[in-house]
């Protein structure tokens, strides 16, 4: 469709942390640094790992636990180094069909919520069944990139 796409993602490993915070921006900052330390060598192999995109954030409206994740690079998918920070963990996300809405600019928590609502409304209007109790935000750019930024919101297809 012109305002969203349906993607099929394969099973993959992500390095994640869950932050309990009153606001998403604070959680993203805390979570990002915990995961950044992991890829900078705070892992059992003291191995530096390339930064990947996207950085995802699991949002469950009404819940103060926010999960931030980095995709584990393909060369480490089989055996990613274990984190040494007890708040950081490796998770395997199962293959899934995901509805994706893309947008540009600097994304704030409010902008992500607004885009997620537009996607949810569009999917409901088109009779597309999806898991409405959570969504993911996905950011693809460094904070230093000023133009042509790419952001997404994801709902999992039922």
Nearest alpha carbon to residue 77 among 92, 88, 87? 92
Mean pLDDT of 115-123: 98
Cα–Cα separations (whole angstroms), residue 138 to 5, 35, 48, 149: 14, 15, 23, 12
Q: What is the pLDDT of residues 19-51, one digit of tens each?
A: 998 788 889 999 999 999 999 999 999 999 999
- Write down the pLDDT at residue 12: 98
Rounded to whole angstroms, how far apart are CA atoms 140 and 102?
11
Express as a percent the part of the chain with pLDDT over 70.
100
Nearest alpha carbon to residue 140 among 64, 60, 37, 71? 71
Mean pLDDT of 129-154: 95
- Write down the pLDDT at residue 73: 97
120 within 8 A of 100, measured Cβ to Cβ: no
Mean of all residue pLDDT scores within the chain: 95
Q: How far apart are the first and last CA of the chain?
A: 18
Mean pLDDT of 125-141: 97
| pTM score, whole prediction | 0.94
Domain 5-156, CATH homologous superfamily name and number: Regulatory factor, effector binding domain (3.20.80.10)
- Write down the pLDDT at residue 62: 86
Is residue 127 classed as helix, strand or coil in its secondary structure? coil
Is residue 131 classed as helix, strand or coil in its secondary structure? coil
């Amino acid at each position: 469709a012109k305002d969203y796409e349906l993607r099929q993602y394969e099973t993959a490993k992500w390095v994640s942390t869950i932050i309990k915070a009153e606001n998403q921006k604070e959680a993203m900052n805390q979570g990002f640094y915990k995961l950044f330390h992991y890829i900078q060598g705070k892992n059992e192999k003291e191995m530096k790992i390339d930064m990947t995109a996207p950085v995802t954030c699991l949002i469950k409206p009404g819940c103060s636990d926010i999960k931030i994740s980095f995709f584990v690079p393909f060369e480490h998918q089989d055996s990613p180094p274990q984190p040494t920070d007890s708040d950081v963990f490796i998770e395997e996300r199962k293959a899934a069909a995901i509805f994706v809405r893309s947008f540009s600019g600097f994304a704030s928590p409010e902008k992500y919520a607004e885009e997620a609502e537009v996607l949810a409304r569009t999917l409901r209007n088109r009779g597309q069944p999806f898991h409405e109790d959570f969504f993911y935000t996905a950011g693809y750019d460094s904070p230093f990139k000023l133009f042509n930024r790419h952001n997404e919101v994801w709902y999992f297809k039922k």
